[in-house]
């Protein structure tokens, strides 16, 4: 009998409409995918950070967004979110490891993306496209988790 080993690399993609319910749909999708692939140790972190990215895309954008989950192997996961807004917010506009200051305690916004620098192992953002008139194709924000767990197991 032949035994089939499941791959530890995979990709899921989800197109999200500009809708206030998109963050909930993204959370449910992340939960199902990670649970199905046995990645329970990063599930809560990925669900939280994905929700923050999707919510910001809805609040600051005008169109749809796309979510992509990529298992990189070795227990690492990369989550990317494309949206049509070209502005790259902190901490994605800085190299991984360079921290942005906390928002003032009385501020009503700005805490969500701080969570990325607190809980993700790596992150980044890229503007996409662009022409002579300054029109772009939006941006891609991404984060990775699972690297710390992998380093501690060595």
pLDDT digit of tens for each residue in the chain (154 aa)?
666 656 789 999 999 999 999 999 999 999 999 999 999 999 999 999 999 999 999 998 899 999 999 999 999 999 999 999 888 887 888 777 777 777 777 777 777 777 888 899 999 999 887 655 555 689 999 999 996 544 433 3
Take residue 64 and report the two structure tokens written for it.
């749809």
Place of tokens 């988790």: 145
**pLDDT attached to residue 7:** 72
**pLDDT attached to residue 108:** 73
Separation CA 61–CA 43 (nearest Å)? 26
């Amino acid at each position: 009998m032949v035994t089939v080993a499941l791959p530890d690399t995979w990709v899921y993609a989800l197109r999200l409409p500009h809708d206030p319910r998109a963050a909930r749909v993204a959370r449910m999708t992340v939960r199902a995918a990670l649970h199905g692939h046995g990645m329970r140790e990063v599930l809560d972190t990925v669900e939280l950070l994905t929700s923050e990215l999707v919510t910001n895309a809805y609040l600051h954008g005008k169109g749809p967004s796309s979510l992509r989950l990529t298992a990189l192997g070795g227990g690492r996961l990369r989550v990317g979110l494309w949206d049509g807004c070209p502005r790259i917010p902190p901490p994605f506009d800085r190299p991984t490891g360079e921290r942005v200051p906390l928002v003032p305690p009385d501020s009503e916004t700005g805490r969500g993306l701080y969570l990325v620098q607190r809980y993700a192992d790596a992150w980044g953002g890229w503007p996409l496209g662009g022409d002579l008139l300054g029109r772009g194709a939006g941006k891609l924000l991404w984060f990775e988790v699972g690297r710390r767990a992998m380093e501690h197991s060595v």
